[in-house]
Chains A and B, each alone.
Chain A
Amino acid sequence: MSVGRVIRISGPLVVAENMLGALMYEMVEVGEDRLIGEINRIDGDKAYIQVYESTSGLRPGEPVYRTGTPLSVELGPGLLTQIFDGIQRPLPIIAGLTNSIFVKRGVKTSSLPREKKWYFKPRKELVGQKVSEGTIIGEVAETSIITHKVMVPPGIRGTLKSIVSEGEYTIDDVIAEVDGETGRTEVKMYHRWPARFPRPFHEKLEPTEPLITGVRILDTLFPLAKGGTAAIPGPFGSGKTVTLHSLAKWSDANVVVYVGCGERGNEMTEVLEKFPEYTDPWTGKPLMERTILIANTSNMPVAAREASIYVGITMAEYYRDMGYNVLLVADSTSRWAEALREIGGRLGEMPAEEGFPSYLASRIAEFYERAGRVIAKGDPSRVGSVTVVGAVSPPGGDFTEPVVMHTRRFIKVFWALDASLAYSRHYPAINWLMSYSGYIDTVSQWWSEKVGKDWLKLREKAMNILLREDSLREIVRLMGTEGLSEQDKAVLLIAKIIKDGFLKQHAYDKIDAFSAPRKQYLLLKAIINIYQKILEIINAGKATVAIIEEEMQPLFSELIRARYTIPNEQAELIQKLEDKIIDRLAFIAAR
């Protein structure tokens, strides 16, 4: 391939000439330092290149080398537990290679470990059989949680000519040969896939199961489904990152891909330092063993930030294809959109709303479209899913700005964070009036079968109390509590208990942080049953809400504290507490 020549440099944008034949989205190496870049516009023999590293010191006349391939992700064992930058360079290895605390430019290293030996178990029975893309030909225990399924890479089909016997191999070793129409292909434990293209699957299915997160307001009020999509928008400090961390820690996904896209360095460090200490509540193993981190922090080059989202979702799809339920969280999609805006601006594209390029909406749509529950290709038949949750960081917390607006069109769950809840330290600061979930009916069957028959009804009751409370608050704000009926006062009382004792959840409290479905259910049931009892008493004129409140305060406090005093394993104690409270109410009524 011919070598191009740099003619223009403007920040991360480099224009090179003598690039005839270059491909759109082809990776190139720019300058003597061979900085990594990607072609994103071609004009005659000129190619416009976004460079993923700082271009400081680059000069016109320096060479541009083509690679002939688009931005690709190395997929194979060794992804889990690793932290990569936005273009899949392993950051700890870069630190070691450069012996520097800073990310240096032009560092080249392979994404996956080359020398590491993996114990490969082949599916010997496949020799002589027809295989095609996605067919599992063997497996490797990648971590103590995840068995890595080695699949025939996309685009390959034919007869399995040979496969190595059980033993230790590196990813560069040939482990199988496939005879196809165009000849023999060697298969290794890894392959490369272009990040910007969705990986193939056999068939897309509707999500059916909830993704349990252990966060009560999410699971009970605004549930997410495995293979679904959610957005969590909110101003700074409202709890986007903490919520995403909770999801990454506690949700019942098999694999978690955490993309730190243009956010803080310390938030990645927190995951790196804390996850190895936590155990996955579902497997009892260290959390890191199911986690992949992608870190392109706010101070790292903006072009790689744009790429990081695609690199992350490609990895997620890869584990989906093995038959796993994968959760991808992206913090924050706004920074990714801003990277698009910055790159578009440098290319001189016509800006649409707020300077964002006109294709913003379609890029957002394409991204969320890569979520889903699918039947994977190849044998044996298996179902996997990618659930996508994206944080959105609107300027000034304004939900009418373009990224929030467009995102809403393509997601089914909306967790709206609210600054005023955050100011009063009501965490998670998810506004129950503005949030919604399109999966309530989808997941209610699971809840009623596995946890409690009346789940849907309890949820509805709780929502109604909260809705009613909101309109009552408006009245109280104008006129005080004087004019309220006893029934209304009961609503206010119970709404307070729901808010303080159920919706509030402390992400850093040992007991409160993760609430098992059973505990969520029992807590909600207790609160609703108590409400019914109170209604019964006041309707019969046996006591007033004021009296009940006065006398019951210590017990109500105990109920409010139950979320962090009663651990999941002893959830049945909630039932006991409920009985105690109901008895006490009955006693008051009987006087």
Chain B
Amino acid sequence: MSYAESLGKKIVTSLTGIKGPLIFVKGASGVAFDEVVEIELYNGEKRRGRVLEVFRDLAVVQVFEGTTGISLTGTKVRFLGKTFELPVSESMLGRIFNALGEPVDGGPPVVGEEWRDVNGEPLNPAVRAYPNDFIQTGISAIDGMNTLVRGQKLPIFSGSGLPHNMLAAQIAKQATVRGEAEGFAVVFAAIGIKFEEAVFFKKFFEKTGALSRTAMFFTLANDPPMLRLLTPRTALTLAEYLAYERDMHVLAILTDMSNYAEALREISAAREEVPGRQGYPGYMYSDLATIYERAGRVRNKKGSITQMPILTMPNDDITHPIPDLTGYITEGQIVLDRRLYNMGIYPPINVLMSLSRLMKEGIGPGKTREDHANVSDQLYAAYSKAQEVRGLAMIIGEESLTSRDKRYLRFAEAFETRFLNQGVNENRSIEKTLDIAWEVLSLLPEEELTSIKPEYITKYYKKKGA
């Protein structure tokens, strides 16, 4: 909103307390819950915040930019009479913004075609359309076994130092829906990440020519926690506008949601709320859901929002509240694995722990290939069996394994080095992915492939010597 608009609104000057990101304001009658306020410091600096709670004429206000430097005296608080809204327009593509949606690229201010509440509203479940358009990412571990579809929310669960940024960038570059000329518009939310990481993405989009259809929203690691909470919301507000009003297919990348969750914990602690697991607030599930559920497709609308949040699992622990609550909301997860990474495999995707819940509707004849579902099931079954055999081989030695078990070992190795492993610029078609899958499955005896219908075995299994 513009500062000019705030003129004429009620101004209150009596602050009764400051705590963490919160200020307590008295004498503010008629203040609305969730209303936006403008705070003018004694030196003329302006900040913004929102009303977290009102009790008669007492308002608790959360200051977006933090309370550093705010004093009980000499501070003016203006209540702007509305909730936090973002001006949105198609012209925001190609631009860079801060968490409040203000341009930080030196370009002109945005002239909004519409103003939208950044908190969004819940999509009516009765108007959603089930996502079912296969997105080819060109990455075998994803396309073959954890297929992404348009309108899905599929996060990357990573660990510190693992190549999640590279993978997300590769996906953003390669993702296409086959038979459609138009690609994705990218809405990118950098949530409390390091400056170099933000620059990596910006350069990548520049290099690949995608910048003109990308809008970036940045909060860096040293920005106050409230801004980290806002960033995904402003980004998704634009995404919703582009998808549902401008018929675009949007890919929203949110990184790093762990920073988001930590900001949430920090603010909850400042509010002295009863902490839940590991100090994260009990409402973190619901809060995260108001972000992740802003993905999808809608009946009778052309556009869609596909979400790819990235998070780093503290200590690579998938049961940590951040990945745990995320996995409970998102439609699967792509899990990166340190062991594979150390083996030099890229992308180091742990397929067994990964999942795409919407895969089944996006694959099969007419979409990918008739044998896709069976092949995927069989790869999972065989690779997990191979893990068992690997464990056994450690105890009794490889030479004592049965000849069948030895073939599982060879399968697992080929699976990792040929199927999983690929170049950062390698864009595999789904046929290529499935062909490699058959190549590695053909290392196993035919009778072992019980997840695959006999007719597909006849058609695709590569008999030895054939």
Q: How far is the CB of A380 from chain B (nearest CB, A)?
A: 37
Q: Is A505 an interface residue (CB 8 A)?
A: no
Q: Is B55 an interface residue (CB 8 A)?
A: yes
A355 in contact with B125 given A55-B33, A476-B392 (CB within 8 Å): no
A60 touches B125 (CB 8 A): no
For chain B, the bracket of interface size reads 35 or more
**Which of chain A's residues have a CB closer than 8 A to the CB of B381?**
424-425
Cα separation A479 to B448 with both chains bound (whole Å): 24
Q: How far is the CB of A589 from chain B (nearest CB, A)?
A: 21
A92 in contact with B282 given A59-B33, A397-B319, A423-B352 (CB within 8 Å): no
B130 touches A273 (CB 8 A): yes
Closest residue on chain B to residue A556 by CB atoms? B447
Interface residues in B221-280 by Cβ distance below 8 A to A read: 244, 273-277
Closest residue on chain A to residue B55 by CB atoms? A8
B327 touches A92 (CB 8 A): no
A482 in contact with B128 given A10-B53, A424-B381 (CB within 8 Å): no
Q: How far is the CB of B231 from chain A (nearest CB, A)?
A: 18
Mask, B399-418, CB within 8 Å of A = 1, is: 01000000000000000000
**Which of chain B's residues have a CB closer than 8 A to the CB of A58?**
32-33
Closest residue on chain A to residue B31 by CB atoms? A59
Q: Is A21 an interface residue (CB 8 A)?
A: no
Q: Is B101 an interface residue (CB 8 A)?
A: no
**Which of chain A's residues have a CB closer than 8 A to the CB of B320?**
396
B392 touches A477 (CB 8 A): yes
Cα separation A264 to B357 with both chains bound (whole Å): 11
B277 touches A395 (CB 8 A): yes
**Which of chain A's residues have a CB closer than 8 A to the CB of B331?**
264, 266
**Which of chain B's residues have a CB closer than 8 A to the CB of A553?**
445, 447
**Which of chain A's residues have a CB closer than 8 A to the CB of B290?**
299
Q: Is B283 an interface residue (CB 8 A)?
A: yes
Q: Is B296 an interface residue (CB 8 A)?
A: yes
Q: Is B369 an interface residue (CB 8 A)?
A: no
Q: Is B127 an interface residue (CB 8 A)?
A: yes
A295 touches B450 (CB 8 A): no
**Which of chain A's residues have a CB closer than 8 A to the CB of B128?**
265-266, 268-269
**Which of chain B's residues have a CB closer than 8 A to the CB of A102?**
120-124
Cα separation A345 to B275 with both chains bound (whole Å): 10
B32 touches A298 (CB 8 A): no
Stretch of A310-318, A334-342, A454-462, A579-587 lying at the B interface: A334-342
Q: How far is the CB of A259 from chain B (nearest CB, A)?
A: 13
Cα separation A159 to B296 with both chains bound (whole Å): 56
Q: Is A393 an interface residue (CB 8 A)?
A: yes
Cα separation A321 to B333 with both chains bound (whole Å): 43
Q: Is A557 an interface residue (CB 8 A)?
A: yes
**Which of chain A's residues have a CB closer than 8 A to the CB of B35?**
57
**Which of chain B's residues have a CB closer than 8 A to the CB of A274?**
130
Cα separation A265 to B125 with both chains bound (whole Å): 5
Closest residue on chain B to residue A83 by CB atoms? B126
B34 touches A57 (CB 8 A): yes
Interface residues in A5-55 by Cβ distance below 8 A to B read: 7-11, 15, 54-55
Partner of A424, one of B130, B329, B384: B384
Q: Is A262 an interface residue (CB 8 A)?
A: yes
Cα separation A73 to B236 with both chains bound (whole Å): 36
Partner of A8, one of B54, B333, B355, B453: B54
A423 touches B391 (CB 8 A): no
Q: Is A101 an interface residue (CB 8 A)?
A: yes
B392 touches A500 (CB 8 A): no
A338 in contact with B282 given A8-B56, A236-B328, A396-B319 (CB within 8 Å): yes
Q: Is A181 an interface residue (CB 8 A)?
A: no
B32 touches A345 (CB 8 A): no
A91 touches B125 (CB 8 A): yes
Q: Is B380 an interface residue (CB 8 A)?
A: yes
Partner of B274, one of A273, A351, A396, A554: A351
Q: How far is the CB of B36 from chain A (nearest CB, A)?
A: 11
B126 touches A9 (CB 8 A): no
Closest residue on chain A to residue B397 by CB atoms? A480
**Which of chain A's residues have a CB closer than 8 A to the CB of B131?**
266
Partner of B360, one of A299, A508, A565: A508
Cα separation A458 to B400 with both chains bound (whole Å): 35
Q: How far is the CB of B350 from chain A (nearest CB, A)?
A: 9
Partner of B286, one of A266, A338, A557: A338
A57 touches B33 (CB 8 A): yes
B296 touches A266 (CB 8 A): yes
Q: Is B197 an interface residue (CB 8 A)?
A: no
A342 touches B286 (CB 8 A): yes
Q: Is A108 an interface residue (CB 8 A)?
A: no
B124 touches A345 (CB 8 A): no
Cα separation A59 to B352 with both chains bound (whole Å): 51
Q: Is A560 an interface residue (CB 8 A)?
A: yes
A237 touches B29 (CB 8 A): no
Closest residue on chain B to residue A339 by CB atoms? B286
Cα separation A557 to B450 with both chains bound (whole Å): 6
B283 touches A342 (CB 8 A): yes
Highest count of chain B CB atoms <10 Å: which of A11, A264, A354: A264
**Which of chain A's residues have a CB closer than 8 A to the CB of B298?**
101
A266 touches B358 (CB 8 A): yes
Q: Is A308 an interface residue (CB 8 A)?
A: no
Q: Is A270 an interface residue (CB 8 A)?
A: yes
**Which of chain B's residues have a CB closer than 8 A to the CB of A413?**
none
Q: How far is the CB of A114 from chain B (nearest CB, A)?
A: 19
Q: How far is the CB of B378 from chain A (nearest CB, A)?
A: 9
Cα separation A297 to B124 with both chains bound (whole Å): 9
Q: Is B370 an interface residue (CB 8 A)?
A: no
**Which of chain A's residues have a CB closer than 8 A to the CB of B332?**
237
Cα separation A273 to B275 with both chains bound (whole Å): 39
Interface residues in A245-298 by Cβ distance below 8 A to B read: 260, 262, 264-266, 268-270, 272-274, 295, 297-298
Cα separation A59 to B130 with both chains bound (whole Å): 38
A355 touches B328 (CB 8 A): no
**Which of chain A's residues have a CB closer than 8 A to the CB of B53?**
8-11
Interface residues in A545-580 by Cβ distance below 8 A to B read: 553-554, 556-557, 560-561, 565
Q: How far is the CB of A28 from chain B (nearest CB, A)?
A: 17
A269 in contact with B30 given A8-B55, A302-B283, A425-B380 (CB within 8 Å): no
Q: How far is the CB of B449 from chain A (nearest CB, A)?
A: 8
Q: Is A484 an interface residue (CB 8 A)?
A: no
**Which of chain A's residues have a CB closer than 8 A to the CB of B90?**
none
A393 in contact with B125 given A237-B357, A298-B289 (CB within 8 Å): no
Q: Is B206 an interface residue (CB 8 A)?
A: no
Interface residues in A58-116 by Cβ distance below 8 A to B read: 58-61, 83, 91-92, 94-95, 100-104
**Which of chain B's residues have a CB closer than 8 A to the CB of A235?**
319, 324, 327
**Which of chain A's residues have a CB closer than 8 A to the CB of B282?**
338, 341-342, 345, 355
Q: Is B133 an interface residue (CB 8 A)?
A: no
**Which of chain B's residues have a CB closer than 8 A to the CB of A354?**
276-277
A297 touches B293 (CB 8 A): yes
**Which of chain A's residues have a CB closer than 8 A to the CB of B55?**
7-8, 10, 15, 60
B327 touches A236 (CB 8 A): yes
**Which of chain B's residues have a CB closer than 8 A to the CB of A103?**
121-124
A57 touches B286 (CB 8 A): no
Q: Is A540 an interface residue (CB 8 A)?
A: no
Q: How far is the CB of A243 from chain B (nearest CB, A)?
A: 14
Cα separation A23 to B117 with both chains bound (whole Å): 35
**Which of chain A's residues have a CB closer than 8 A to the CB of B56?**
7-8, 60
Q: Is A56 an interface residue (CB 8 A)?
A: yes
A-B contact pairs, 23 of them (CB 8 A): A7-B55, A8-B55, A8-B56, A10-B52, A54-B121, A59-B31, A59-B32, A60-B29, A60-B31, A95-B126, A101-B298, A266-B131, A269-B128, A273-B130, A295-B125, A299-B289, A300-B122, A302-B283, A338-B285, A396-B320, A423-B353, A476-B392, A557-B448
Name the 10 nearest CB pairs between A and B, nearest first.
A424-B384, A298-B289, A396-B319, A480-B396, A102-B121, A91-B126, A299-B293, A56-B34, A425-B380, A9-B33
- Besides A102-B123, A298-B286, 8 other A-B contacts (C-beta < 8 A): A237-B355, A265-B296, A298-B289, A395-B324, A396-B319, A423-B353, A480-B396, A557-B448
